[in-house]
Amino acid sequence: MHIQWYPGHMYKAGKEIREALPQVDLMIEVLDARIPFSSENPMLAALRGNKPCIKLLNKSDLADPLLTQQWQEYLDRQQDVDSVALHRGEIDKIRRLPDLCREMVPARGGEHKSIRTMIVGIPNVGKSTLINILAGRSIAKTGNEPAVTKSQQRINLRNGIILSDTPGVMWPNVENRNSGYRLAATGAIKDTAMEYDDVAMFAAEYLLHHYAGNLQQRYGFEPMPQTEFELLEAIGAKRGCLRKGGRVDLPKAAKLFITELRAGTLGRITLETPAMMEQEMAEVAIIREKKAARKAKRRSRR
């Protein structure tokens, strides 16, 4: 899925992150607990190198708790990584994050050696809200749409932690097509850059296979729709998304479905598992190799 959305401030932010990283002791990456893999920016993973990293699985109140536990176990096996699942209502848990920073960088954090941290993440992942709680005051602008923060700022938390805030950084091409749909479904991508119908079809197919009980509880279907198209048609009929003549307005039904998914109205849902991601990335690697082979073949003919 090629995302037709890469604002100029994101290019600038990526450049600034590269320049600032040598002076950073610890990275805090905010992930969406519903899509921990797809919300991890591969560019940031490459830039981080072996720096210690706290991966925050934010919005955990919207995610499947059993799968969140699986993801934490998966992430904690990575070198120099510690994961924490939380949401904006867990204020005490968020305020304990500086203690974890000090544990991960024990050589710093004294009176004259503040721990220099950088908080990063994709757009609309809840970074600004976390920063405001850590700072104890409103510093970062928040909003319910991507790309609210436009520039970097340094924040002295006055507890031995210096925090560099960065804009949410997306990358211009998502190699894994399914990850692109997951990012769109959870709201990381502006709605003007996506087609609701396509994204809703993807999400509907997944939920029918993995969370049919949630759909039954929410919509009370009898019988249960069997395909993603039937599901959206049934939702449209139930919710009055109709055109003249009583036909279902599919785009309107798709938008309603995605809105309810994002809000957690359909229950606590996670759109990917570690096992799924291992398989999908193996498929991406094969596609990448085939593309490289085709390019090499074309060059040899010149």
pLDDT of residue 239: 94
pLDDT tens track for 59-76: 999 999 999 999 999 999
pLDDT of residue 146: 43
Would you say residue 83 has pLDDT above 80?
yes
Q: What percent of the chain has pLDDT over 90?
A: 56
Q: Which fold has domain 8-165?
A: Rossmann fold (3.40.50)
Would you say residue 1 has pLDDT above 50?
no
Which one has a higher pLDDT value, 9 or 102? 102
Q: What's the burial of 284, exposed, middle or buried (CB within 10 Å: 0-12/13-18/19+)? A: middle
Task: Yes or no: say if 38 and 183 are a contact pair by the CB < 8 Å rule.
Answer: yes
CA distances from 271 to 39, 45, 194 (A): 11, 21, 18
Query: 115-121 and 161-165 as β-strands: parallel, antiparallel, unpaired?
Result: parallel
Would you say residue 142 has pLDDT above 80?
no
Over range 269-286, report the average pLDDT.
93
Task: Yes or no: say if 84 and 100 are a contact pair by the CB < 8 Å rule.
Answer: yes
Would you say residue 192 has pLDDT above 60?
yes
Tell me where in the chain the CATH 1.10.1580.10 domain(s) lie. Answer: 195-263
Which one has a higher pLDDT value, 279 or 176? 279
Tell me where in the chain the CATH 3.40.50.300 domain(s) lie. Answer: 8-165
Say what the pTM is. 0.87
Over range 151-180, report the average pLDDT.
77
Choose the most confident range, by mean pLDDT, from 3-17, 43-57, 196-210.
196-210
State the sign of the Cα–Cα–Cα–Cα dihedral 92, 95, 98, 104.
positive
Which one has a higher pLDDT value, 288 or 103? 103
Q: For residue 238, name the pLDDT band (cuts at 50, 70, 90).
A: very high
Pick the CATH number of 195-263 from 1.10.1580.10, 1.10.3720.10, 3.30.565.10, 2.40.50.140: 1.10.1580.10
Would you say residue 98 has pLDDT above 80?
yes
Would you say residue 249 has pLDDT above 90?
yes
Would you say residue 13 has pLDDT above 70?
no
Query: 161-165 and 153-156 as β-strands: parallel, antiparallel, unpaired?
Result: antiparallel
User: Which candidate, 110, 134, 124, places its Cα nearest to that of 58?
Assistant: 124
